[in-house]
Structure 1
Amino acid sequence: MNAKAIRYHRYGPPEVMALESIEEPALAPGQVRVSLRAAGVAPVDTKLRAGLLQGRMELPLPKVPGRDGAGVIAASAAEGFHVGQAVCVIADMLGQGTYAETIVLPAERVVAQPDTLSVRQAAALLQPGASAWIPVVRTAQVQSGMKVLVHAGSGAVGSLMVRLAAHLGAEVWATCSSANKDDVLALGAAGVIAYDKEDFSALRGFDVVFDLVGGDTHDRSYPVLKPGGQLVWLVAAPIRERGEEFKVRVVRSMIDDDPQCLREVAMLAQQGVMVPTVGQCFPLAEAARAHALLESGKTARGRIVLDIG
């Protein structure tokens, strides 16, 4: 059987993507086939499509983009899942992705959809959720009484970091644009610095800073930390490491698709802790428009989602 999917056959601008008919892959033992209803659009999707990560990874072309998705089990050759079950999925970065009507993937890349989430929220859960959970829980080991600052607190990952760190009992501050200040306060932040009107570098005495931006934002974060504090960064703009100068620990949090992490994220979503923020939504056929919007830098709140069916 054939299914519709967005694909690109070469690296380039958003327009290299097109809606095509592809053959559904066969189901192997330990795998499930999911009929997708929505897919999240992540910054890494645009970087891969543009060829910006060629030095680090070589994609098999043609490529169906997309890491996150939500849908229902259409067929199962794995234990623990049944036909008709609502699920969230996270595709391998180098495999075929979620901008498609259907996907086949190993069962460890699938979790039951929390019934607290809409389909669109479920499609924006696992990749941002893992990117928030690993730095907060594993890397920084945030706990009650800590004071933490989250840069880009209104984004897909930053908003989940704010929610999670507040849930763990930390005093959470965040940076975002003035337009999103009230939204971030509603996530549980004790304070918000609007970077277009205020200077966060005047803050002092923080245990942890989570840097999702890099560049100048990273450089100005060092004085915010108290001696012995942690500056935790993810993939971002180039940084200048100054940990020894400020007597703080600078550590890159390495994000992976660890099944235990995915289960923890889903459980926290079920509890109402990690609730994804959904930004603008587009039909699957308009994936190029979604990529263009993301690359324009004009979306700063939540995750863009593609509606599939």
Structure 2
Amino acid sequence: MKAIQYSRYGSPDVLELVTLDDPVAGPNEVRVRLKAAGVSPIDAKLRSGALQAHFSLTFPKIPGRDGVGVIDQIGEGVVGLFIGDEVCVAADPTRSGTYAEAIVCASSRVVKKPPNLSTSHAAALLQPGVSAWISMCRTAMLSEGMSVLIHGGAGAVGCQMIQLARHLRLNVTTTCRAQNIDYVLGLGAHRAVAYDCYDYGDDYRDDFSLLRHIDVVFDLIGGETHARSYQVLKAGGQLVYLSATPFENQAEKYGVSVTRAMISDAPEALHAVAQLAGEGVLMPGVMATLPLAAAADAHRQFEAGQITRGRIVLNMEDGS
């Protein structure tokens, strides 16, 4: 099989296209013949060595957290899955990933592909979808009619948060680049703040910190954005954050709570996200598709800040 791998930490240049033997499914595992893989920020951070303190990698390493394909081998003890099933994969970040024509993983790490999603959209579903679902449905204290502020609404996680928030009947404000205003409003946001444009017109505020009485802020950014988010919360409000730029916790000063969303690939979360996508609630964001061989280019675009909407998806079936 063809795969992308790297044998040391470094720049995107360490990513190489190689030919390897197909992996073999062991007990409680399945082999998935992959059609596409989503390119996630964690893929680039693992490759660069930025997460060495949190993840211990074995080299050579095939990157990739998200993927979609067809089961073509089933190990002993697997129940509920069959050869020929189309599935989405949430790969273990410390093992072989999805930038390959095949992957072996625990059967608990795959879910049936929602039939209404294209291959590219299915490849970008699980990792950002799980982040959104755990943040909103297992971490935040939400009820119908609440006002929420979602930072980075055009990103892969943010776009699914907006859709999930509308499904939960929340009042949604989001921040994004000016060029993505129409995009996030189309996803279901009631209001958008263009953080990079200070003369966008009368319809949008350019400073989210002028907002008030927000029930919950979802912080996907950290740093200065986190610091400016406290003042928009009402007394007793909640700030939920994912892994982000370091920040100072000022919860006591403002009379609010600060909670980290503990993201994991729990089967409950994977199945919930797949079900919501199948019901038409969640549609992953896909900015572009590239052939597998262009994985290094995808990482360069991410590190250059050029991925402003959703994910880049690597297509295994594109031989160019």
For the aligned pair, the TM-score class normalised by the smaller chain equals over 0.9
Gaps of 5+ in 1: none
CA distance in 2, matches of 1:126, 1:298: 22
- Aligned residue number for residue 98 of structure 1: 98
What CA distance in whole angstroms lies between the structure 2 residues aligned with 1:254 and 1:16?
A: 30
Q: What does residue 68 of structure 1 align with?
A: 66
User: In structure 1, what residue type is equivalent to 2:133?
Assistant: W
Structure 1 runs of 4+ aligned residues shifted over 6 Å read none
What is residue 115 of structure 1 aligned with on the other side? 115
- What residue identity is the alignment partner of 2:91? A
Q: In the alignment, residue 294 of structure 1 is paired with which amino acid?
A: F
Structure 2 unmatched ranges of 5 or more: 198-205
Alpha-carbon separation, structure 2, partners of 1:256 and 1:80:
22
For residue 147 of structure 1, report the CA deviation from its aligned partner.
0.4
Aligned length: 307
2:14 counterpart residue number: 16
Report deviation, 1:7: 0.3
Q: Counterpart of 1:4?
A: 2
TM-score, structure 1 normalization: 0.98
Within 5 Å, which residues of 2 pair with 1:80-229?
80-197=80-197, 198-229=206-237
Q: Does 1:38 align with 2:46?
A: no
What is the RMSD computed on CA atoms of the aligned residues? 0.8
Matched, 1:269 2:277: yes
Q: Output the amino acid matched with 1:162.
A: I
Q: What is the DSSP-based 3-state SS (H/G/I as helix, E as strand, rest coil) of the residue aligned with 2:133?
A: helix
Deviation readout 1:259-285 (Å, 9 max, x if unpaired): 011000000000111110101111000
Whether the 8 Å contact between 2:65 and 2:90 is mirrored in structure 1 is yes
How high is the TM-score relative to the length of structure 2? Answer: 0.95
TM-fit CA distance, 1:26:
2.1
Identity %: 53
**Residue 143 of structure 1: how far off its partner (Å):** 2.3
CA deviation vs aligned residue, 1:19-72 (integer Å, no higher than 9, x gap): 111222222121111000000000010000000111222211110000000011
Q: Distance in 1 between matches of 2:254 and 2:82?
A: 54
Deviation readout 1:126-174 (Å, 9 max, x if unpaired):
1001010000010003221110000000000000000001100100110
Residue matched to 1:308: 316
- Asked if the contact 2:23–2:102 (Cα under 8 Å) also holds between the matched residues in 1, the reply is no
Give the secondary-structure state (helix, strand or coil) at the position aligned to 2:20. strand
In the other structure, the counterpart of 2:259 is 251
Q: What letter corresponds to residue 195 of structure 1 in structure 2?
A: Y
Contact 2:39–2:311 (CA under 8 A) maintained in structure 1: yes
